[in-house]
Amino acid sequence: MENIYHIKSVADYFAWRNTKPTHPLVGILDYEKTTAYPDYSFDGLHFDCYAIFLKMAKNCKLKYGGGVYDFDEGSMVFLAPGQQAGISYDPNYVPKGYALIFHPDLLLGSDLDRKMKSYKYFSYGVKEALHLSEREQGLVLSVLDKIQFELEQNLDKHSKKLIVSNIELLLDYSLRFYDRQFLTREIPHQSALQKFDSLLNDYLNSEKPQKYGLPSVGYFADQLNLSSNYFGDLVKKETGNSAQEYIQTKLIDVAKSKVFNPNKSVSEIAYELGFKYPQHFSRLFKKQVGHSPKEFRQLN
């Protein structure tokens, strides 16, 4: 994307939608109340603000990372400062939903400012949108109503705390809803974990470790067309272990089989598995198994 509209402030996003916010650091846009069309001469938007979109119309499309994604009614997308989203123009599309835009400066001095990194869904891809049930959508709308209520009042010493507290409530609800989604939604045809397991086994039993090195979380996330954070959280929810721990467990299982081969040295096995240094392999093996590779070979 070459022609990018840079959203440095809340006012910039509202200006793109041909309207104005009532607060310099935070605003809620109701798409049904915004009759003017935005400027579609741009290829995409670059955000220096946090942006949360609740899409409530059918056949909604968003462009992200070179792909165009369709969304069901009641989907949420989260963007953090530094991220970009493409613009897809459809003259027949009637937007319905809300955008909550807030600048990082709004959070300065608050507990939420220190918590923002814990909401990892801000780094998920758009294709990993949060799909809400009707009841969940009602909760989200009720929190947005509370924020909008505060924005329509005369600002006083309580305003910032109440606005930020309700944003935090919205983010915590979203965290809960994502936990539910991890448990209830599967990638079509085969669960992500099954695909991951198959890809990992294929990787470890091929020459790829010697060529590309140890298997990484990022590699498998790319293979599954998922962001690393979404993939990592998915594995954690399904297995109780991090994706890295899961990889290491599988790696050691393969290593145990290889150690049984008396014709191969520990160094050869280490290189076959993608380790640059045999001592790193021996250290990990002992940590996981309780014995060094040589001790394990002698015991068995």
DSSP per residue, 39-78: -TTSSEEEESSEEEEEE-STTEEEEETTEEEEE-SSEEEE
The more confidently predicted of residues 40 and 121 is 121
Helices 228-239 and 243-259 cross at an angle (nearest 10°) of 70
User: What per-residue confidence (pLDDT) applies to 101?
Assistant: 98
184, 216, 241 - which closes a domain: 184
pLDDT above 90 for 9: yes
Based on the domain organization, do 88 and 224 belong to the same domain? no
Q: What is the pLDDT confidence band of residue 158, given thresholds at 50, 70 and 90?
A: very high
159, 184, 209 - which closes a domain: 184
Based on the domain organization, do 286 and 146 belong to the same domain? no
Based on the domain organization, do 179 and 208 belong to the same domain? no
Based on the domain organization, do 124 and 173 belong to the same domain? yes
Based on the domain organization, do 24 and 52 belong to the same domain? yes
Q: Which residues constitute the domain of residue 36?
A: 4-184
pLDDT above 50 for 70: no
User: What per-residue confidence (pLDDT) applies to 127?
Assistant: 67
Average of per-residue pLDDT values in the chain: 86
User: What per-residue confidence (pLDDT) applies to 51?
Assistant: 95
Q: What is the pLDDT confidence band of residue 91, given thresholds at 50, 70 and 90?
A: low
Mean pLDDT over 267-280 rounds to 94
Based on the domain organization, do 28 and 148 belong to the same domain? yes
From the list 1, 15, 83, the residue with the least C-alpha distance to 50 is: 83
Q: What is the pLDDT confidence band of residue 296, given thresholds at 50, 70 and 90?
A: confident
Based on the domain organization, do 91 and 176 belong to the same domain? yes
User: What per-residue confidence (pLDDT) applies to 61?
Assistant: 56
Whole-angstrom distance, CA of residue 255 vs CA of residue 274: 11
Percent of the chain at pLDDT > 90 equals 51
pTM of the model: 0.69
Domain count, the chain: 2
User: Over the stretch 214-269, which tens digit does the pLDDT of each residue have?
Assistant: 999 999 999 998 889 989 988 888 777 899 999 999 999 889 888 877 888 999 99
User: What per-residue confidence (pLDDT) applies to 33?
Assistant: 86
What CATH number should be reported for the domain holding residue 19?
2.60.120.280
What CATH number should be reported for the domain holding residue 256?
1.10.10.60
The more confidently predicted of residues 82 and 216 is 216
Based on the domain organization, do 154 and 200 belong to the same domain? no
Mean pLDDT over 204-210 rounds to 92
Residues 71, 16, 88: CA angle, nearest 5 degrees? 35
pLDDT above 50 for 66: no
User: What per-residue confidence (pLDDT) applies to 49?
Assistant: 94
Based on the domain organization, do 200 and 174 belong to the same domain? no
Whole-angstrom distance, CA of residue 192 vs CA of residue 181: 13
150, 184, 218 - which closes a domain: 184
Based on the domain organization, do 13 and 106 belong to the same domain? yes
Q: What is the pLDDT confidence band of residue 189, given thresholds at 50, 70 and 90?
A: very low
Based on the domain organization, do 219 and 251 belong to the same domain? yes
Whole-angstrom distance, CA of residue 273 vs CA of residue 207: 9
Mean pLDDT over 199-203 rounds to 91
The more confidently predicted of residues 87 and 4 is 4
Based on the domain organization, do 45 and 176 belong to the same domain? yes
From the list 102, 174, 191, 162, the residue with the least C-alpha distance to 137 is: 174
From the list 224, 234, 230, the residue with the least C-alpha distance to 203 is: 224
Q: What is the pLDDT confidence band of residue 142, given thresholds at 50, 70 and 90?
A: very high
pLDDT above 80 for 55: yes
